[in-house]
Amino acid sequence: MAAVAVLGLARTALHRNGARLVQAAVMTTAQRSVAHFTFVPEPEPAQYGPTQKMNLFQSITSALDNVLAKDPTAVIFGEDVAFGGVFRCTVGLRDKYGKERVFNTPLCEQGIVGFGIGVAVTGATAIAEIQFADYIFPAFDQIVNEAAKYRYRSGNLFACGSLTIRAPWGCVGHGSLYHSQSPEAFFSHIPGVKVVIPRSPIQAKGLLISCIEDKNPCIFFEPKILYRAAVEQVPVEAYQVPLSQAEVLEEGNDVTLVAWGTQVHVMREVASMAQEKLGVSCEVIDLRTILPWDVETICKSVAKTGRLLISHEAPITGGFAAEISSTVQEECFLNLEAPISRVCGYDTPFPHIFEPFYIPDKWKCFDAVRKMINY
């Protein structure tokens, strides 16, 4: 289950080809790596003390640093975390906290999660890394049958609530089948775990610390495309962003737009496009926690707007939008003025060269808003 380190290499190779073959018919690096979203930094938070400019991977490191400093039982482990991690999320932590607390494991995902559960069963804090969300499936049994059910099946005698599993997540431009996946819906069907996905460095740090301190096993998916791309002022000290609470980022009256991870930024752009081109006012909501999710905030918004669009990168069939859609339909039947729209990945594996056509980009989402308004 080796994670092929294609991400950096592919870029170099493309660049070389691009330089050699300057022809109109050949896609250039620039054309291919145009981001499908625009990250807009949020205002500097004032309530948590001094801040520093951090990208998303640095804010993860900062969260882990805060936790290791405060909690002497906390350990971080996974494949290649000792030298700083393939995405640099654990840089410097081993030097600072020692090799017993930040260490490489053998290359075996089921072992990593099983091991993490065991650490957590003793009450110590276990922060496991799965190198790519795509490679979490070998640990599915340990997550579904073990971590999620530990407390319940033992009558609360034993639990692994101090376990957090972090994994890079989502599309990255050229990650193809096994460096692009968004597996949150698989995990949304597992009572006993929490699934959390941040949209930005500030959110990532606060939500990750909440996951680590939460008394339940948590899966924390980090949108890898934001690791370097998203930069904002992040508090240096520890703070928490609550789990199971969606956040209304922009208020609106005509349509509710729900997304998580990178797709939130797509939604924000869609909201401006809808305002600009259609005069439609959109309410943009970041769901943040997939399980247990914030039904109330979403339903309250839909009761006001009467229309709902949910968008995620993962394939549409069995995706988490289906759960949201069905719940909102039950709760807000009398308020809905149009069918709930889902703009998602297609029901195919995540493709390499076809990525720009695969993802639910702003144009696909915008078109869905247009149709919904005209319904």
Catalytic site residues? Answer: 109, 179
- Alpha-carbon separation of residue 12 from 6, 227, 351 (angstroms): 10, 19, 20
140 makes contact with other proteins (CB under 8 A)? no
Q: Which of 132, 138, 65 is nearest to 102 (CA)?
A: 65
**CA separation for the pair 99, 200 (Å, rounded):** 29
153 near other proteins (CB under 8 A) = yes
- Residue 333 interacts with other proteins (CB under 8 A): yes or no: no
Pairwise CA distance, residues 77 & 102, whole Å: 6
Cα–Cα distance between 89 and 197 in angstroms, integer?
A: 16
The contact mask relative to other proteins for 252-281 (x = CB under 8 A, - = no) is ------------------------------
Of 50-58, 118-126, 342-350, 360-368, which part binds other proteins (CB under 8 A)?
118-126
Q: Does 157 bind other proteins (CB under 8 A)?
A: yes
Three-class DSSP category at 51: strand
235 forms beta bridges with 51
Is position 373 an interface residue for other proteins (rule: CB under 8 A)? no
How near is the Cβ of 303 to other proteins at its closest, in Å?
Answer: 17
What does the block give as tokens for 1?
């289950």
Closest approach of other proteins to the CB of residue 85, in Å:
18
How far is Cα 266 from Cα 282, in angstroms, rounded to an integer?
13
Kind and range of the H or E element at 58? helix 56-70
Nearest-approach distance from CB 347 to other proteins, in angstroms: 27
With contacts defined by CB under 8 A, name the span among 46-54, 98-106, 168-176, 254-262 that binds other proteins: 98-106
Residue from 159, 249, 290, 314 that binds other proteins (CB under 8 A)? 159
Using CB under 8 A as the binding rule, whether residue 154 contacts other proteins is answered as: yes
- Estimate to the nearest angstrom the gap between the alpha carbon of 260 and the chain centroid: 7
Cβ-in-10-Å burial (0-12, 13-18, 19+) of 250 comes to: middle
Least Å distance between CB 109 and other proteins?
A: 9
Positions in the binding site for other proteins (CB under 8 A): 73, 75, 100-101, 103, 105-106, 108, 110-111, 113-124, 126, 138, 141-142, 145-146, 149-159, 161, 191-192, 194, 215-216, 244, 292-293, 295-296
